[in-house]
């Protein structure tokens, strides 16, 4: 019997206590079957399993581990982070309203804007890291959802989750927090009042750049949550058993990976902040960051693995630095064990991203090697 007060590192390493009871194996099994048999009296052999869309052991185990890491009443896995976001927003009725943080991951913003147009939903965008601006908007508008992302991608802005909850209540909205860049280990939004927390499991929760997935966890089993669960099951927005099995495998090392990535990121940020070829560093772990004090209250054990920095000399200088890097892979995404670099203006030139901004995701490599690589690339 496993205690309910186990620390996150133990929950993750032990896969919440799961083993293969049939063989005695210490690794939870993979069951790929899409359907489950009944006996001659047409009774289910296993009462919990009828059909894969609704029932799979690997998916349920992944959801159990994440619920325990988040301190959640329930968790649902999805085939991608965007599928998880879509499931939340599909609960908003035609003609409704939502409040969304500006300057978040562009894929989220674009999908929400298009969805709101299709469904005749009023969309209010606000710089949610400015608590006064958020309070003013929520006091003036009623909405079904308030959606924030903290730390934000790629600006690394920090939003006060407790204040956002109060703002959501004044607007009659449920608070949804994208906590992908914080992970369940660094920030637990549900404990700060959030109604639902979302992650792109593709990122650091999986951490090996080989699984696409999304997560929603809820503070309570509300009517909103029940609507999300029903929609996921009936619309079929489910994670496959192999992906769920890989995700469970990856989560067993999540605390170790996050600890190393955060330590590496802090050292890299401090190095870049002193470099003569760097104009500015966006990382909440730096005392110079506008959201540092808030991040220090909301984040425990580190400030994350994601950061952006501005290269002196403009667009061409930034692209040249990216091109000279040898250890940082030039690739989209974040949160993997390998370090990545991306010139965001190339990806989203229409969003106001500075042309000299490089976003980097710090992995688990030797930090001195990462710093050396960045230094040679910056010095040319």
Catalytic annotation present for 53: yes
Give CA–CA dist 204/38, Å, rounded. 39
Catalytic annotation present for 60: no
Catalytic annotation present for 178: yes
Give CA–CA dist 343/225, Å, rounded. 37
Catalytic residue among 74, 105, 188, 249: 105
Catalytic residue among 53, 119, 252, 315: 53
Catalytic residue among 178, 195, 283, 359: 178
Catalytic residue among 68, 157, 203, 219: 203
Catalytic annotation present for 119: no
Contact 68, 184 (CB under 8 A): no
Active site residues: 53, 105, 178, 203
């Amino acid at each position: 019997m496993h205690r309910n007060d186990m620390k996150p590192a133990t929950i993750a390493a032990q896969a919440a206590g799961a083993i293969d009871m049939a063989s005695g194996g210490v690794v939870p099994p993979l069951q790929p079957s899409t359907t489950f048999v009944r006996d001659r009296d047409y009774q289910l052999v296993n009462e919990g399993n009828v059909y894969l869309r609704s029932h799979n052991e690997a998916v349920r185990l992944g959801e159990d581990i994440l619920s325990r890491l988040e301190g959640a009443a329930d968790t649902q896995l999805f085939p991608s982070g965007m599928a998880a976001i879509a499931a939340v927003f599909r609960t908003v009725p035609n003609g409704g309203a939502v409040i969304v943080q500006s300057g978040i991951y562009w894929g989220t913003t674009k999908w929400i804007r298009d969805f709101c147009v299709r469904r005749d939903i009023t969309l209010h965008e606000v710089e949610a890291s400015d608590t006064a601006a958020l309070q003013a908007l929520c006091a003036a508008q009623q909405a079904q959802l308030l959606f924030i992302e903290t730390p934000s991608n790629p600006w690394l802005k920090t939003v006060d989750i407790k204040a956002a909850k109060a703002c959501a209540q004044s607007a009659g909205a449920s608070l949804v927090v994208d906590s992908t860049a914080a992970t369940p280990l660094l920030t637990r939004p549900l404990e700060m009042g959030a109604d639902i927390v979302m992650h792109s499991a593709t990122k650091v929760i999986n951490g090996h750049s080989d699984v696409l997935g999304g997560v929603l966890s809820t503070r309570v089993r509300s009517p909103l949550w029940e609507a999300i669960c029903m929609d996921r099951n009936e619309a079929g927005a489910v994670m496959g058993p192999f992906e769920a099995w890989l995700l469970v495998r990856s989560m067993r090392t999540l605390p170790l990976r996050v600890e190393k990535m955060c330590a590496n990121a802090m050292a890299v940020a401090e190095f870049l902040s002193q470099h003569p070829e760097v104009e500015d560093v966006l990382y909440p772990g730096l005392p110079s960051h506008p959201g540092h004090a808030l991040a220090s209250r909301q984040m425990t054990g580190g400030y994350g693995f994601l950061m952006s920095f501005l290269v002196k000399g403009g667009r061409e200088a930034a692209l040249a630095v990216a091109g000279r890097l040898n250890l940082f892979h030039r690739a989209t995404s974040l949160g993997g064990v390998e370090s990545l670099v991306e010139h965001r203006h190339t990806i989203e030139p229409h969003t106001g991203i500075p042309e000299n901004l490089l976003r980097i995701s710090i992995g688990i490599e030797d930090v001195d090697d990462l710093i050396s690589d960045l230094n040679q690339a910056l010095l040319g």
